A and B are shown apart, each in its own frame.
Chain A
Amino acid sequence: MDQNLKHRIQAQTAKVLHLVALFIAMCIICIPGLWVVLNSLRPTVEIMAKPPVWIPSELNLDNYRAMFGAVGEGGVPVLQYFTNSLIISVTSTLIAVLIGMAGGYAFARYQFKGKAAIFIGLMLTRAVPGVSLSLPLFIVMAKTGLIDTHIGLILVYIALNVPFTIWLIDGFFRQVPIDLAHAAEIDGCTRWQAFWKVEFPVARAGIASAGIFAFLTSWNEYALASQLTRSTFSKTMPVGLRDFTSEFTINWGGMCALAVLMIIPALILTFIVQKHLIAGLTFGGVKG
């Protein structure tokens, strides 16, 4: 009986410890984010209060109202930023995934000379720090008149994401047995049809996960966007955060409101795609 009891107590302790550890970990992950949400709903006086106000006395939408309001009242052209971000991120993600599919398919299905070299070369373009790229890119864009345009940023983000999408998608296509495609071709499909009807559906989960990584990268990118955009016509949301800072002070409430607006699309998208994300990574990761 002693033996049994001891084991049961051990198992119970392990279970409780597991739950406690999980709870603490989730708190650490969530609190900074919840703090941002909470601050977006409080007046500045309370955010900056000393001694601190832990339990808010009132929550209101003043910061949001000010943000959507006129420029003179602390408003920023937030809808324009949102639209810019959306156009740039979605377009660049779609194109990067298409290019990544073509490139990944080439790596997964064809044998050719210098394959490893080209592959490493692609990866190294991602290794170039954004800072050292932004200086010359600015000059090139200025010469070609692409500064302050959507197209300029879209091109940059495609290039930023293509190595990564190729790498991931290559892994997913390797998971699809080549016999499957061959069988389809014997049944009378062209190679093109075999790809769309057989190989693409199988690799779809992986392609979705490559897409979400690409989207999050372009949605959140700041260093290059801050150099290549000048006016509200092309500024993205991360650059827009800067509108709330002046030389010595920061409008925390307004900034938090914009931050919340910025996270919502990413949160929704990730929640929808996250099932594919895990499945996709499991597929593509090891043998990629």
Chain B
Amino acid sequence: MVRSRLPTWFVLLLPAIIILVAVVLIPLILSLYSSFTPYRLTRPETLYKWIGLFNYEKAVTSAHFWAAFGRTVLLLTIALNLEMLMGLGLALLVNKVTYGQRALRTIMMFPMMFSPVLVGFQFKFIFNDNVGLVNNALQSLGLTDVAIPWLVDGQLAFISILVAEMWSSTSVFAILILAGLFAVPRDPIEAAKVDGCTPWQSFRHITLPYIMPFIYIALAIRSLDVARAYDIVQIMTNGGPARRTELLWTLIGRTGYVDAKMGYANAMAYVSIFLAIAFTIYFFRKLNAARAELGMAR
């Protein structure tokens, strides 16, 4: 071991702290500073002009910002809940299989291997109004003769993004919940069976409490990875048509790079980081509560 006067735990944590300070903290401080300036990429000298909270006022009074904010929360809430339910269903289905489970588990993780940018392109093609898979299938089956503009209509585009998002992330939930199902002890379930519980009762009162921590871990990981939805949305619709699928991340990305208003974009980013922090802390508390119920809290 390294001989030093520093405590061992600190030495062990030091590499992690150094890299996070260098790659995350310093840029964040820089962007925090630039959010108080009218910084534009095209005019570097604007970085040295202090304008106080102007950008923040502009952000919180902007209807576009709050529309994107609301849409982001809506997408996250719907997507996380549906993914959790479908992941649970999928995990239960696979868990029941006795033969060939290993192959099924690998297939189940298939979408996890797809890069979000690839998922974006893939579903952009699948939902293409002219030659896409969905419209072709609907027309071949004779369910409709008009081309449905999946990615052009505001509401349909939102649903298309939701489908793409769910396809790519349900397996994260499924794999974590399946791991949870493996960890459920057999004895209480046997006992419940003997006592005459229905399958639903033993699921509700024995299995579910055991897998709740896994569900919260999955929710916490997914809510931390919300930024990944950027790739999918940016490629499928880029916030369009006419801002109807505009999410926080596409709005911030466009403001920063296309409109080159870095200062303003950073101010919006800081308001939205609170959203991520709120989600994180919420799921951590839920997780600890679920663990406490099982007597596994630290």
Contact = CB atoms under 8 A, between A and B. Distances in A.
Interface of A: 18, 21-22, 25-26, 28-30, 32-33, 35-36, 47-52, 54, 98-100, 102-103, 105-106, 109-110, 112, 118, 120, 122-133, 135-137, 139-140, 155-156, 158-159, 162-164, 166, 190-192, 216, 219-223, 237-238, 241, 250, 252, 255, 259, 262-263, 266-267, 270-271, 274-275, 277-278, 281-282, 285-288
Contacts of B111: 29, 33
B177 to A, nearest CB: 10
B117 A238 contact: yes
B276 A129 contact: yes
Interface of A is mostly: helix
Contacts of B20: 122, 125, 159, 162-163
Given A33-B114, A127-B276, A162-B20, A132 B182 contact: no
B175 interface: yes
Interface of B: 1, 7-10, 12-13, 15-16, 19-20, 22-28, 30-31, 34, 89-90, 93-94, 96-97, 102, 104-118, 121-123, 125-126, 130-131, 133, 136, 139-140, 167, 171, 175-176, 178-180, 182-183, 213-214, 217, 221, 224-228, 230-231, 234, 248-249, 252-253, 256-257, 262, 265-266, 269-270, 272-273, 276-277, 279-281, 284, 291, 294, 296
A130 B249 CA distance: 9
A18 B97 CA distance: 9
A216 B224 contact: no
Contacts, number: 258
A282 B93 contact: no
Contacts of A219: 115
Given A135-B266, A285-B183, A286-B180, A140 B27 contact: yes
A132 B213 contact: no
Contact of B140 (A35, A54, A100, A252): A54
Given A99-B16, A159-B20, A262-B118, A30 B107 contact: yes
